A = this chain, B = another copy of it.
Amino acid sequence: MSPADEMDFVTIVAIAPKIRRREISPVELTQACLNRIERRNPKLNAFITVAADLAIEQARAAEVEIMRGDWRGPLHGIPIALKDLIDTAGVRTTAASALYKDRIPKEDAEVVRRLRRAGAVIVGKNNLHEFAYGGSSLVSYFGDVRNPGNLQHIAGGSSGGSAAAVAAGLCLAAIGTDTAGSIREPAALCGCVGFKPTYGRVSARGVIPLSWSLDHVGPLTNCAIDAAIVLQTIAGYDAADISSAEVPVADYLSGLCDDVKNLRIAVPRTYFYDDLDGNVRSAVERALEKIGKLVREVREVRLEVSEDRTVQAAESYALHAENVAKAPELYQSETLRRIRSGDKYSAAEYIERRRKLDEARRRVHELFAEVDLLVTPTTPIPAPAIIELKKDPAALRPTELHLLRNTRPFNVWGLPAISVPCGFTKSGLPIGLQIAGPPWREDLVLRLASAYEKTGR
């Protein structure tokens, strides 16, 4: 067994300096991840494709560079996984669907290009809900992902495989996508960090879309500092992606050291704190107490939340209309039902809702006139048991709406929002705390997340 396999290599921030100092070999580190995947993935089902040979090849190249003194930065030689709707040249990218099960992209997605340029090692492609539909639906052509905290529970989704892989240490970070909570919700349920940046912050080019106006690409990691490291690499303008915005990227890592004692925190108790599981409520209240001691003030606010889902439904339908007509049998029936629910909208209805969404985004900075950050539970409940959802399919949809209730508004507003672990239920299931900030202020969100982490959860 290599030294890398023995140690706790769960965070990038801890391991990157050792790679730089040549104390850890990227090849050994990658092999250790591959070993863990081999050992644990059969039960977790967090990967659709493991690119072992390619990963070792990339790790060797990183090792050669580092040995000759060309260290590229904190992602150099770090094993990372990608939700399997992020295109990888030459490696199949399935969106967990029968339709794309043999689809091999010719080009890397822009985020993958940036990760490779930073020297990251791509170990494989994570399982997800078919075409990224939903937060609890048990629909992947490649089977359900299991929660590493308790295999009888869902991992959440749609980036469930990414969250499970990171939380179980099968890789040091993963890239997911989030249209209504699909990064933050599984991160909360599996017990890792999941960060959805501002809409337009990270290029979505080469990522199979779910709903253009709401899709966000972001990292899943084992601590807020790692989220800062990965975001630093993938953030930034991409002229070829129409959702990408030309807004300067801050230095997230150095920002983490800044003080939080002047921050004003808002707690939107109405809506976001309604109907909480008792375990979630007490974990979040404990977190708020700790945060209260770090910052200038914690105050209650009231937020108006629109629950309209026309934009998402219509855009998802637009993406799938042709395939759904041609080959409905290649979709899981639940996915098909959801896609078809977007069939009924006219252009005029969509245009009106899309305007409202665009207007809400233009006004959203007003939320932050007198506060700096918002804090809520990421999910009102912990990960449901798979058997409960399977024996009562009628409960699936309400459960999912409840699971995504607190995350979805931040997709509508396009605001940066992170989920960080904030404790466990009595039965040991992870609980997540959501911190959200003003547009483009990922630095601020990361700063509080990191300060909270340091309190020792």
Residues of A within 8 A of B (CB): 212, 239-242, 310, 314-315, 317-318, 321, 342-343, 345-352, 355, 358-359, 361-363, 365
How far, in angstroms, from A188 to B310 measured CA to CA in the complex?
42
A241 partner residues in chain B, CB cutoff 8 A: 362
How far, in angstroms, from A197 to B315 measured CA to CA in the complex?
30
Partner of A348, one of B318, B352, B363: B318
Instruction: Please name the residue on chain B nearest to A360 by beta carbon.
Output: B242
Instruction: Please name the residue on chain B nearest to A239 by beta carbon.
Output: B362
A318 partner residues in chain B, CB cutoff 8 A: 347-348, 351-352
A342 partner residues in chain B, CB cutoff 8 A: 347-348
Whether A317 lies near B242 (C-beta < 8 A) is no
Copies in the complex: 2
How far, in angstroms, from A212 to B362 measured CA to CA in the complex?
15
A365 partner residues in chain B, CB cutoff 8 A: 239
Instruction: Offer 17 A-B interface pairs, CB within 8 angstroms, sorted by A.
Output: A212-B355, A241-B362, A242-B355, A242-B359, A242-B362, A314-B347, A314-B348, A317-B348, A318-B348, A318-B352, A321-B348, A342-B347, A345-B346, A347-B349, A347-B350, A350-B350, A350-B351
Q: What 5 A-B pairs come out closest when comparing CB atoms?
A: A347-B350, A314-B347, A345-B347, A318-B348, A318-B351
Give the secondary structure class of A's interface.
Answer: helix
A358 partner residues in chain B, CB cutoff 8 A: 242
How far, in angstroms, from A76 to B146 measured CA to CA in the complex?
71
Partner of A347, one of B240, B346, B359, B361: B346
How far, in angstroms, from A315 to B317 measured CA to CA in the complex?
19
Separation in Å of the A346 CB from the closest CB of chain B? 6
A355 partner residues in chain B, CB cutoff 8 A: 212, 242
Separation in Å of the A197 CB from the closest CB of chain B? 19
A347 partner residues in chain B, CB cutoff 8 A: 310, 314, 317-318, 342, 345-347, 349-350
A361 partner residues in chain B, CB cutoff 8 A: 242
Separation in Å of the A301 CB from the closest CB of chain B? 21
A317 partner residues in chain B, CB cutoff 8 A: 347-348
How far, in angstroms, from A242 to B414 measured CA to CA in the complex?
14
Separation in Å of the A242 CB from the closest CB of chain B? 4
How far, in angstroms, from A223 to B314 measured CA to CA in the complex?
47
A321 partner residues in chain B, CB cutoff 8 A: 348
Instruction: Please name the residue on chain B nearest to A363 by beta carbon.
Output: B240
Separation in Å of the A115 CB from the closest CB of chain B? 23
How far, in angstroms, from A315 to B314 measured CA to CA in the complex?
16
A212 partner residues in chain B, CB cutoff 8 A: 351, 355
Instruction: Please name the residue on chain B nearest to A356 by beta carbon.
Output: B242
A242 partner residues in chain B, CB cutoff 8 A: 355, 358-359, 361-362
A314 partner residues in chain B, CB cutoff 8 A: 347-348, 351
How far, in angstroms, from A241 to B317 measured CA to CA in the complex?
28
A350 partner residues in chain B, CB cutoff 8 A: 347, 350-351
Which of A240, A318, A346 lies at the interface centre, i.e. has the most chain B CB atoms within 10 A of its CB? A346
Given contacts A241-B362, A321-B348, A342-B347, 9 further A-B contacts (CB under 8 A): A239-B365, A240-B363, A242-B359, A242-B361, A242-B362, A310-B347, A345-B347, A347-B350, A350-B351
